[in-house]
Amino acid sequence: MSESSNEAQGRALDGVQWLRQRQFAAAAECFRESLQLDPSVTPVWLHLAMAERGLGRRDEEGLALTKALETHPFDLMALLLKGNWLERGGQPHAAVKVYRGALTVAEQSPAAVSPDLQPLLDRARRFAATYQADYSAFLDQQMAAAAKGLAPEELARFWQTLDIHLGRRQRFDPQPMGLFYARLAPTEFFERRRFPWIEGLEAQTADIRAECLAALGDEAHITPYLDYDPDQPLQQWAELNRNPRWSAYHLLKDGLPLQPNASRCPRTLAALAAVDQPVQQGRTPVAMYSLLKPHTHIPPHVGISNVRLVAHLPLVVPRDCALRVGSTTHAWQPGEVCVFDDTIEHEAWNRSDELRAVLIFDVWHPDLNEAERRMISALARASDAFTGAAAAMPL
C-alpha cells in the first residue's frame, strides 16, 4: 500500500471516530481530506454523505451519494441512502427508481444485505409498494374514464396489458419444446371469431358427448395420456407418467386415425372434418377424449410448436375444474370451445369428485397463410427424410 493510500485510510478512520461522536464538521473535513488522496473508495463517500446530513447540508449530502454511486453503481447502501435522500426531498418518482434498483441488488445478491441495512431495505419496500398502489389506482381511475363509450369486448387485450404493466398479472411468452415460428404474436386464448368452424362443431356437442360416454366403456383402449420410458428424466411428469388418472381415448394420433377407436366415434370424426386441422407427417392432426379423474392436477408445461394451437370442446365438466394458460384461468363450460397456444405455460385441474372429459384436437394457427402451411408440412417431411420417422424431430 502506498504512502498516500495509508494516509487516506488514516484520515477516513479519524473521520469515522468523529462521526461516532456526532462531531459532523470534523468528520466531514477528515473524509474530504481522505477523498482528495483517494477518491475511489465508496464507503468514504457514504460516510461523507452521513456527515453532511448531520450538518444539514442537503446538496452536499446528495453530491457525496452521487459520487459513491459513480465509484460503485451497485453498492446497496449507496442506493438505499440515495433513495432515502430523494424521498426526503419530495422526489417520489426519482426515489422509487433508485429504491427499485436497491431491491433488485438485494434480491440478486442476498449476501450484500447485512443486518444494519435491513431497516433501510424494509423502508424501500414499503415506499415502492405504496408508490405502485398509488400509481395503479390513478391509472385505473383514468382508464375507466377513457373507456366510457367503448365496447368491453374490444378492450380485453388492453386491460390485460394494463394488468401486466402494473404487475398484477405475470407475462408469459411462448416456450415451445420444438419448432418456434417467428412473428406469431403470443396469445393465451384466441377470440372465437378467428375460427369459423367453432359454432358448427359446438352444435354437434350432444352427439360427440354421447360417443365419448360410450367410449368410457371401452376400457381396453383408454390409455394413460403420458407414456415415457422409465429411463427418461420425467421432471414434472413423474407422478402422472403411465398413470390412468390422466388418460386418453385417441381418435387421431400422429396424423392418422387410430383404430378401432376412430370407427366407434364416426360422428365426432365427421364433425372434426370441418375443422382446420394441421397436417405434419407423423405428428398431426390429433384428436382424443381427454379424461381427468377426480382430484388430479396436470402440472405446468408447454407444448411442441406454436404453428398449431390446441382446442378443447368440454363434454363432461364438474365443478372445480379449470385450465390456466399463462396468466389467464379459464373454467370450461360444456359445449363451448376454447382455443389456446399450448406453447405458453399452462396447467389444468379437476378438484371435484367426478370425471372430467374434454375433446382435445389441434388446429392451424390462424395467422399462418396457405404458403406457410405448405412449407411447414414440407418441413416435417424433409426432417423425417433425414432422421427417419422413428427418430422424428419435434416440429
Cβ density class 205-215: b for 16+ within 10 Å, e for less: beebbebbeeb
pLDDT at 179 (0 to 100)? 92
Q: pLDDT tens digit string along 294-318?
A: 999 999 999 999 999 999 999 999 9
Q: Can you read off the three cell numbers belonging to residue 372?
A: 406457410
Distance, CA of 359 to CA of 373 (rounded, Å): 24
The number of beta carbons lying within 10 Å of the beta carbon of residue 126 is 11
272 dihedral zone (left: phi>0; alpha: psi -120 to 50; beta)? alpha
- Per domain, the residue ranges of the chain are 3-133, 192-391
Residue 31: phi and psi, rounded to 5, are -65, -40
As a dihedral over the C-alpha atoms of residue 127, residue 131, residue 137, residue 140, rounded to 10 degrees, the angle is: -140
Distance, CA of 296 to CA of 321 (rounded, Å): 10
Report the 3 state secondary structure along 193-211.
HHCCCHHHHHCCHHHHHHH
Distance, CA of 311 to CA of 364 (rounded, Å): 10
pLDDT at 154 (0 to 100)? 86
pLDDT at 39 (0 to 100)? 92
353: which DSSP letter?
Answer: S
Residue type at 243 in one-letter notation: N
Q: Please report, in tens digits, the pLDDT of each residue of the chain (395 residues total).
A: 566 788 889 898 999 999 999 999 999 999 999 999 999 999 999 999 999 999 999 999 999 999 999 999 999 999 999 999 999 999 999 999 999 999 999 999 888 788 999 999 999 999 999 999 999 999 999 999 999 999 988 898 899 989 999 999 999 999 999 999 999 988 999 999 999 999 999 999 999 999 999 999 999 999 999 888 877 777 888 888 899 999 999 999 999 999 999 999 999 999 999 999 999 989 999 999 999 999 999 999 999 999 999 999 999 999 999 999 999 999 999 999 999 999 999 999 999 999 999 999 999 999 999 999 999 999 998 899 888 877 778 88
What CATH architecture does domain 3-133 belong to? Alpha Horseshoe (1.25)
pLDDT at 3 (0 to 100)? 64
The number of beta carbons lying within 10 Å of the beta carbon of residue 111 is 6
Distance, CA of 337 to CA of 202 (rounded, Å): 7
Query: Quick one: 192-391 is in which CATH superfamily?
Result: B-lactam Antibiotic, Isopenicillin N Synthase; Chain (2.60.120.330)
Q: pLDDT tens digit string along 205-227?
A: 999 999 999 999 999 999 999 88
pLDDT at 76 (0 to 100)? 94
Greatest CA span in the chain, whole angstroms? 94
pLDDT at 2 (0 to 100)? 61
The answer to whether the predicted template modeling score (pTM) of the entire model surpasses 0.85 is no
**Which residue in this structure is represented by grid cell 431495505?**
121
